[in-house]
Amino acid sequence: MKRASGTSSRSVSATSRSGGNGGSRGNSLDWAAAWPARAAGTSTGPGSTATGTIATGPACSTAEDTGTAAASDGGGLAVRQAAPATATTHLNQHRISTSLTRREAIVKSFAFACTTALVGGCRSHTKMRDDGPHLGTALAHDDLRTDAGPTLGPLPDDAQRVLFASREDDAPFVLGGVAPSMEGRHYFTSNERSLHAFEPTIRGKGGGYIGVGTDQAYLFIGWARSEFAWLCDYDPVVVDLHDVYRALLLAAETHEEFLELWTRDGRLLAHEAIDQHAPERDRSHLRGLYRRQRAAVARRLAEVVATMHAASVPCWLSDASQYAHVRDLVQHGRTRAMLVDLAGRRGLKGIAHAAREAGITIGVLYLSNAEEYWRLYPDAFRRNMDRLPYADDAVVLRTLLIWKVNRDYRYHVQRAANFQAWLAEAWVGNIYHLTYERPDVDPVGLNLFETTSLPAEAPSALRAAARKKIEELLAAGITTDGT
C-alpha cells in the first residue's frame, strides 16, 4: 500500500528482514539453492519481530493461541518466495492421512465457521449490475474451467536466476493507512468480501501475476492460471506470511489437507512443515508468525470457502485442479514473495527488468485499495506502472473502500493500457480522478464497475477542478515524491 513517510519517527522493525544495503542480500547462489525464492533482498532471521499495531480492524477477526488476529485489507506491494523445492520429507511418512469423510468434514467445518461471519455482517453480495463491464467481469460464473491444465514444470536455470536476483525495496518507516488512525497496522488477511467479482475477467489469463496482500494472490493465480507470480507487500511480516503459506502448500497435496493445517488439530503438522521447508534460521520466526496468525488466517480461509460456494465460483480452496496449479507454481519455483513498495525505486523496477529478461508479460496486476493511501499519486508510482511489461490483454484489479455502506468495497477493473493512459495525464492526481465515472454505491449488491473511457473524454470542468485540487494539495504540503 502507501509508501510510508520518511519523516516519521515510528518504524517497522523487522529483524526478520535485516540487511541494509538497499535491500540486497548478496544474491548468494548457494543460499538460493536452499531457499531460491530469497535469492535477493533482506533475509529473515529467527525470533524476529515487527513493531506496530496488529489490526483488529473493520474486518472480522479473532484472537487465539499466543497472538492477536489481524484485520484484513489489501496490502502494499511486496515480493519474495521460492524456487524449486522437493517434497521428499519425513512428513510424507506420516502425512496428513485424512479419509474422504474427514476431508469433507474439514471443508464443511470451514464453511460452517464462516456462516456466523456472513450472517453477522461480513456478507458477500452476489447481485450483478445489469449494465456490467464489457471485459466480462459481470458475466455469469458458468462454464468455469476446472481442468488441471498443463503442468508448467521448473523454470530454466537462466530464467530462475534473473527472476530471483532483482532487488527489494526497503521496509517503510511507518505503515500507511487511508486515515492517520489506520496507520501502523499489519494486514495479514484480506477483508475484501466479494473478490469473486474479478473471476470472469481473469479466468485463464495466464502470464505473470503481480499483486499485493496475502490470501488474495492464491485466489487470483488459481483463476488466472498464472505462469509466474510475484507476491508483493511493503510490510515485511506480511511478506513473511507467504513463507508460511509456501511451507504448508509444499506439505499438503490437496486443498483439504492445506485447510487442515490451519486448524487447531493441524498445528503440529504445520510446525513440522515449516521446519521441513523453511531455512533453519527462519523456522523459529515463521512458527511464531503461524501461531499468532493461525486463527485469523483460518477464519479468512473459511470465509473465502463459504463466499465462493455461495457465488458458485470454484477456487483453489475447493477445486482440486486450481489447488494443484497453485501448488505446482510453488513447487517449481514460480512464485516469489518480496518486499516491494508500489512507489519504491527498486522493487517494481527490478521486476519489470527481470520479467522482460525472462520473457514474461504481466497478465494481472492487483493493487487492492493501495491507491487510496495517496492524496496525490507519487511520481515513482506512475513510473513503476508505466515500465511493467504488460500483455496486450492485461488487466488491473483494484478495490475502493465503502465500508460504512456495506462493510465491503467497490470492485474495479481496467485494462492496463487504459490505466497507463490515465497516469500519463498530469491532471489525474489520484484514483478518484481516474474513477470519476464510478456508479452510485449499491448497499445490497455487488459494486463492480470498469473504466473504459480515455482521459481525453473526461469533461473539461472535471479536468479543471482536478488541476485546482492538485494545486491546493501541493500548496498544503502534499507531495508527489511518495512522502
Q: What's residue 172's pLDDT?
A: 85
Dihedral of CA 333/337/342/344: which sign? negative
Q: What's residue 151's pLDDT?
A: 74
Cell 482440486 belongs to residue: 320
Q: What's residue 481's pLDDT?
A: 87
Helix/strand/coil (H/E/C) assignment for every residue in the chain: CCCCCCCCCCCCCCHHHECCCCCCCCCCHHHHHHCHHHCCCCECCCCCCCCCEECCCCCCCCEECCEECCCECCCCCCECCCCECCCCCHHHHHCCCCCHHHHHHHHHHHHHHHHHHHHCCCCCCCCCCCCCCCCCCCCCCCCCCCCCCCCCCCCCHHHHHHHCCCCCCCCCCCCCCCCHHHCCEECCECCCCCHHHHHHHHCCCCCEEEEECCHHHHHHHHHHCCCEEEEEECCHHHHHHHHHHHHHHHHCCCHHHHHHCCCHHHHHHHHHHHHHHCCHHHHHHHHHHHHHHHHHHHHHHHHHHHHHHHCCCCCCCCCHHHHHHHHHHHHECCEEEEECCCCCCCHHHHHHHHHHHHCCCEEEEECCCHHHHCCCCCHHHHHHHHHCCEEEEEEEEEEEECHHHHCCEEEEEEEHHHHHHHHCCCCCCCHHHHCCCCCCCCCCCCCEEEECCCHHHCCHHHHHHHHHHHHHHHHCCCCCCCC
Q: Write out the three cell numbers for 113.
A: 465457521
CA 334 vs CA 154, 155, 308, 358, 375: distances in Å: 7, 7, 25, 12, 35
Range 143-146, long-range pairs (CB < 8 A, 24+ positions): 144/199, 144/203, 144/313, 144/314, 145/203, 145/204, 145/225, 145/321, 146/314, 146/319, 146/321, 146/322
Q: What's residue 175's pLDDT?
A: 81
Q: Write out the three cell numbers for 302.
A: 473459511
For residues 310 and 332, give the distance between their C-alpha atoms in angstroms, rounded to a whole number: 32
Q: What's residue 409's pLDDT?
A: 97
Q: How do the pLDDT tens digits run along the chain, 483 residues long?
A: 444 333 333 344 444 443 333 333 333 222 233 333 333 333 333 233 333 333 323 333 333 333 333 333 333 333 333 334 433 333 444 444 444 455 555 555 555 555 444 444 333 333 333 344 434 444 445 555 455 556 789 999 999 999 999 999 999 887 877 667 677 788 899 999 999 999 999 999 999 999 999 999 999 999 999 999 999 999 999 999 999 999 999 999 999 999 999 999 999 999 999 999 999 999 999 999 999 999 999 999 999 999 999 999 999 999 999 999 999 999 999 999 999 999 999 999 999 999 999 999 999 999 999 999 999 999 999 999 999 999 999 999 999 999 999 999 999 999 999 999 999 999 999 999 999 999 999 999 999 999 999 999 999 999 999 999 999 999 999 999 865
Residue 407: partners with Cβ closer than 8 Å, 6 or more residues away? 58, 121, 122, 123, 193
The C-alpha angle with vertex 80 and arms to 78 and 84, in degrees rounded to 5, equals: 155
Q: What's residue 92's pLDDT?
A: 44
Question: How much is the pTM?
Answer: 0.77
